[in-house]
Structure 1
Amino acid sequence: MPPAASLSLPPSGLRRVLGNLAHLLGGKAAAGVISLVYLVIVTHTLGARDYGVLILVNSYVVLVGSVVAFSGFHGVVRYGALALTAGDTPDLARTVRFMAVVEFALGAVAVAVAALLVPLVGPRLGWTPDAMRLAIPYSLAVVATVRATPQGLLQVARRFDLIGLHQTLSPLVRLVGAVGVWVAGGGLTGFIIVWLAAAIVEGIAMWGLALVAWRRLLPDERLLGPWRGVPGRKPGFGRFILITNFDLTLRELAPNLAPLTIGWLLGPAAAGLFALAQRASSILQQPAVLLSQASYAVLADFAAKREFKALKHTVWRSALLALAAGAVVVAVLAVLGGRFLTLLGGGSFVGGTALLVLVALGRMAALASAPVAAGLTGLGLPQRSMAVALLTNLGLYPLLPLLLWRLGVDGAGWHAALQGLIATAILALLFRRDVRRAKLA
């Protein structure tokens, strides 16, 4: 029988990451099945062009939300882990309150900006008159992006099961609403209203779930309490949250900017085809986001305790596992992708196989890079990931219009593949160098 001490050993970093990921994937798997049902209803009802308009309206608002609003996710997780390690729960409470105030304030600004710009943007994207009228109140969908602080608190509390549960809420609202619109014989207007309701539920629900984490971690702290002065109390805090927020903004920029650029240059039908290719390859994109979320809390804990060997081991094993899984998915899509797109969207989405495979390649690379980027942030070096995102999302963006002009909508696939592969290679090189430096410091 093993000695008693060995029974209390903590699980390996990879096991912890996979445990967190299992909770997230459980919710995502349910959400994926639900999303597949409503996606078939929407695409077959609207066709490529009107589906493209729906995607463009949503992408526009999400883009404004990601650029203007503020994410408190990394600040809460990193400094929350440090506060818990030090046993300083009042500091954790103050940090969460501060990030919540910042996120709410800039979220309100994002709603106003999105509404004001609709008359300028809508006509260039081919929106219908009904879509133009609804796009202004649809700016409230920014609420779906104003939920990073409570998500960070849930991660600090290790309630990944609740984060997984949350992922099913928006798809459920979309499914129920889509069925209702379909039965009633509705069209684009009805689906836009349903998408708005789902976004509002998605944002509000996360804050409600975070109360569970608050009661567990901070049972003696009031929700409304001191919040000012957090940057002054924590050296480097302000710089850290600004860099990580900018990094997240850049990462979310490309997925939302690409369909808007396609819609601007090629019209809503091309944007609809690209959006369906993105959705069909979301089996890779969503795990990339989830793997980053699942691994970051573990890696931040290793970094806080200066367990660099465990940090490096966990990052590389997670990345290789993600790459292997992604390669299998890409191979399947290369063989069955055309039939899959037609099954999902109907006859108006024929001819997107090459686009689907290229988008999937980019997302396979992003899946492998997710734990590497999380490792760099856990080391307190979010600027590395930000610089790479700046290069690939903005530096390579001028290639997108050129590729669209030469290759049509397939050019967007080549652009996505280049972005993912280049970003992954650079991040891997940076992590290898920086973890070595951290060990010597």
Structure 2
Amino acid sequence: MAAKARTRLMPESMLGRMFANTVWLLGGKGFGAVCSLVYLAIVTRSLGLKDFGHFSLIFGTAQALIAIAGFQTWRVVVRYGAEHVHQGNWNAFGRLGMLAGALDAIGAVIGCLIAYVVFFHFADTLDLNPELIDIAFWFNCAMLWALVSAPTGVVRALDRFDIAVYVEAWVPLGRLLSAVAIWLTGPTLLKFLIAWAIIDIFEAVMYWVAARYLCPQAVRLRHLKEIGHALRDNPGIIRFFLITYATATVEAVKRYGPLLAVGYFAGTRAAGLYRLAQQLSQGLSKLSTLLTRSVYAEMSRARVAAAADEFRKLAVQTSLIAGGGGALVVVLAVACGAQLMSFIGGDAFRAGYIVMIPLTIEASFELASVAFEPVLHATGRARLALIARLTALGALGIAMLALVQEDDAIGIAWAVAIGGAVYYAIMGLMAWRTLNGLEREQAEAAAREGPGQGPDPA
């Protein structure tokens, strides 16, 4: 029996399929963006600068822990699952998905242990109110168990981004409805944290239900007893997993470390300003994340089923389009950033405009590089992506030491932009060399096979 994932009509070209998936994701995120602007305005105006700073530090810590302990198993499912789906080997695909789910659970346990250490031993470093420590700890635990990496990978490997949109739309809608209800009944930090945790847990349940609906042959509990076979089904999976996990950890430090640094150096009020500026600039980062999801899945399929020149063409076209979009958003941020900060958070947040500009520049570099990491992962060169992120993190650290002064969120923001520029330059060079190498390998293979014999696109 064929998986339900294959009942959706899709364009024939790789770029067409990628954009079809991206359009679905953008549709959902467009809806989410409208909802998020409203609930973000309610949260900032209801809590005020100080309490919103506490909310930002607690939520930011949760996001960092999720990135560190979450293992990014969806990448493993998409990278290795693409071939199983292509061949219709649902048992192997199921073992892979259940292995990813088990890793998610292990990551949640580890994350809870880290959260305990962070909040009960280093809360002073984050400038958190002692009365919020217990709340922050349990909120982080809930968010860690709400991880949806494994079922997300299953849905993406099955090329059902439309289903993913319906599931993920619950989060902004739920937050909007909760924010309105809390605003009307008396806003408190505790209410917002509880609502956010419940919404994310429900999304995780929905993702597993969707994965089971799309491919019941694969998403079965009995595969949990067979996850050891996944290591034999997918040669090199341990090495790939360790490299992508290390890469995700470095990225988490780069993405969420600056917010925690602002809390340490400048206090919760500055963290609140930084967080709102980051939220608005991350609209562009979210676009790059959406593109990464569709690009990653299509690159994995293209590496299995397409020739090297088509693979290169997809990467180049994606990079050019994403780079142009990034440049446009930077212009819009410079022109309208101050008004947007004031509109969302009120006059108290208007000063965050000068923080928003460098954060938007960094996000534009991230968007422009959206095809680079999928290229390296799909061609078995994930270690190069890790090297690039480590180098960018080093550049961020050096820039922070050079630019940051006491109570200075602006210097941290510009250090983030410098780190983004270094990452873009290094990843671009690595991806370019990788694509050239693939074409040389294909030409050499064609020459060995002789005239009239083409290379095997797989």
Q: Same fold, TM exceeding 0.5?
A: yes
The one-letter amino acid of 1:150's match is P
The answer to whether the aligner puts 1:346 opposite 2:346 as a matched pair is yes
What is the aligned partner in structure 1 of residue 19 from structure 2? 18
Counterparts of 2:195 and 2:82, CA distance in 1: 38
What is the aligned partner in structure 2 of residue 135 from structure 1? 136
- Shift in CA distance, 82/193, structure 1 to aligned 2, threshold 3 Å: same
- Shift in CA distance, 162/249, structure 1 to aligned 2, threshold 3 Å: farther
Asked whether the equivalents of residues 84 and 90 of structure 2 are also in contact (C-alpha less than 8 Å), the reply is: yes
What is the aligned partner in structure 2 of residue 182 from structure 1? 183
Q: 1:151-193: CA deviations, max 9, x gaps?
A: 1110111110121222222222222221122112222222222
Counterparts of 2:384 and 2:435, CA distance in 1: 12
Q: 1:287-326: CA deviations, max 9, x gaps?
A: 1101000111111111123521111111111111111112
The answer to whether the aligner puts 1:107 opposite 2:108 as a matched pair is yes
What is the aligned partner in structure 2 of residue 56 from structure 1? 57
Q: 1:193-239: CA deviations, max 9, x gaps?
A: 22222332233322222112323x64999565521142244321110
- Shift in CA distance, 120/317, structure 1 to aligned 2, threshold 3 Å: same
- Shift in CA distance, 19/10, structure 1 to aligned 2, threshold 3 Å: closer
What is the aligned partner in structure 1 of residue 421 from structure 2? 421
Write out aligned runs for 1:73-152 (5 A).
Answer: 73-143=74-144, 146-152=147-153
What is the aligned partner in structure 2 of residue 439 from structure 1? 439
Q: 1:353-388: CA deviations, max 9, x gaps?
A: 222111111101100101121111111211111111
Aligned-residue offset at 1:61: 2.1
- Shift in CA distance, 203/87, structure 1 to aligned 2, threshold 3 Å: closer
Counterparts of 2:315 and 2:65, CA distance in 1: 32
How many residue pairs align between the two structures?
433
What is the aligned partner in structure 2 of residue 166 from structure 1? 167
- Shift in CA distance, 10/197, structure 1 to aligned 2, threshold 3 Å: closer
Counterparts of 1:336 and 1:405, CA distance in 2: 27
Aligned-residue offset at 1:282: 2.3
2:12 match: secondary structure: coil
- Shift in CA distance, 219/391, structure 1 to aligned 2, threshold 3 Å: closer
Counterparts of 1:372 and 1:166, CA distance in 2: 28
Aligned-residue offset at 1:60: 1.2
- More off after superposition, 234-243 vs 337-346: 234-243
**Could you tell me the TM-score, scaled by structure 1's length?**
0.92
Counterparts of 1:112 and 1:202, CA distance in 2: 23
Gaps of 5+ in 1: 1-7
The one-letter amino acid of 1:54's match is F
Counterparts of 2:372 and 2:62, CA distance in 1: 29
Counterparts of 2:221 and 2:68, CA distance in 1: 32
Asked whether the equivalents of residues 76 and 96 of structure 1 are also in contact (C-alpha less than 8 Å), the reply is: yes
1:11 match: secondary structure: coil
- Shift in CA distance, 78/40, structure 1 to aligned 2, threshold 3 Å: same
What is the aligned partner in structure 1 of residue 446 from structure 2? none
Gaps of 5+ in 2: 1-8, 442-458
Structure 1 vs Structure 2 CA RMSD: 2.2
- Shift in CA distance, 10/181, structure 1 to aligned 2, threshold 3 Å: closer
Counterparts of 1:397 and 1:62, CA distance in 2: 20
Aligned-residue offset at 1:71: 2.1
Asked whether the equivalents of residues 94 and 220 of structure 2 are also in contact (C-alpha less than 8 Å), the reply is: no
What is the aligned partner in structure 1 of residue 369 from structure 2? 369
User: What is the percent sequence identity of the aligned residues?
Assistant: 26
The one-letter amino acid of 1:16's match is R
2:393 match: secondary structure: helix
- Shift in CA distance, 122/398, structure 1 to aligned 2, threshold 3 Å: farther
- Shift in CA distance, 198/10, structure 1 to aligned 2, threshold 3 Å: closer
